[in-house]
């Protein structure tokens, strides 16, 4: 089923008119979904959750991007993804309870709210937490610095950006997650990013004067 979901994910994005002339963005969205699925699998295995349910939810959590999300409905993209994922999950002949659980996990991953009833469990929290874990891993450091055009900033602008990032990461360090596995992965990632930005700050300061 997981292999079928990966094929479905790739096909939906390959056929998407939204990404027709945006290959880079399409590639990011597919690769992000696969990274989130790998994180979800790791958490599910460690915590004894249903691995297939978790991985399916993680793979499909952002599938609505392929269909286009209205500018004013970005916060709804989890709920929209659940709507688009449901027909595919039904095609796998999964029992209704499993479909609702997977769709529920997808629906709540953005703002913790679904537009239908389902049984919330620790398992249904994994997709959202794995999504956040990927957003604070190594690759995202590169993406943010590229997006902020870091290399084009002057020394003062670089220092300001790095100090603001360190302050934000320090606050994030104590964010609670629902399982010990996810919590450990979170702290590991935030601590790594803090170390990176602290070293980057030191290098910036040594680029303008003799300390």
Q: What is the pLDDT of residues 121-167, one digit of tens each?
A: 999 999 999 999 999 988 889 889 998 999 999 999 999 999 999 99
Q: Quick one: which of 103, 101, 98 has its CA closest to 84?
A: 103
Q: What is the pLDDT of residues 28-71, one digit of tens each?
A: 999 999 999 999 999 999 999 999 999 999 999 999 999 998 88
Q: Quick one: which of 129, 78, 66 has its CA closest to 104?
A: 78
Q: What is the pLDDT of residues 3-25, one digit of tens each?
A: 999 999 999 999 999 999 899 99
Q: Which DSSP string corresponds to 24-63? A: HHHHHHHHHHHHHHHHHHHHHHHHT--HHHHHHHHHHTTG
CB contact at 8 A, 143 and 32: no
Tell whether the model's pLDDT for residue 208 goes beyond 80. no
Q: What is the C-alpha to C-alpha distance for residues 90 and 204, in angstroms, rounded to an integer? A: 54
Query: What's the predicted TM-score (pTM) here?
Result: 0.91
- In the numeric block, the tokens 């990966």 are attached to 6
């Amino acid at each position: 089923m997981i292999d079928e979901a990966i094929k479905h994910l790739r096909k939906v994005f390959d056929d998407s008119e939204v990404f027709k002339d945006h290959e880079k963005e399409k590639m990011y969205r597919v690769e992000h979904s696969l990274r989130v699925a790998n994180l979800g699998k790791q958490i599910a295995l460690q915590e004894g959750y249903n691995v297939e349910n978790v991985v399916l939810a993680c793979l499909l959590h952002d599938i609505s991007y392929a269909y286009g999300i209205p500018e004013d409905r970005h916060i709804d993209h989890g709920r929209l993804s659940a709507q688009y994922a449901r027909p595919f999950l039904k095609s796998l002949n999964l029992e209704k309870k499993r479909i609702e659980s997977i769709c529920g996990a997808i629906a709540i991953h953005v703002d913790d709210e679904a537009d239908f009833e389902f049984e919330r469990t620790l398992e249904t929290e994994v997709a959202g937490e794995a999504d956040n874990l990927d957003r604070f891993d190594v690759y995202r450091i590169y993406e943010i610095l590229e997006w902020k055009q870091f290399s084009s900033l002057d020394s003062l602008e670089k220092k300001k950006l790095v100090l603001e990032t360190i302050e934000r990461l320090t606050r994030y360090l104590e964010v609670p997650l629902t399982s010990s596995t996810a919590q450990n992965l979170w702290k590991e990632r935030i601590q790594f990013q803090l170390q990176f930005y602290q070293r980057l700050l030191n290098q910036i300061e040594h680029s303008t004067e003799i300390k």
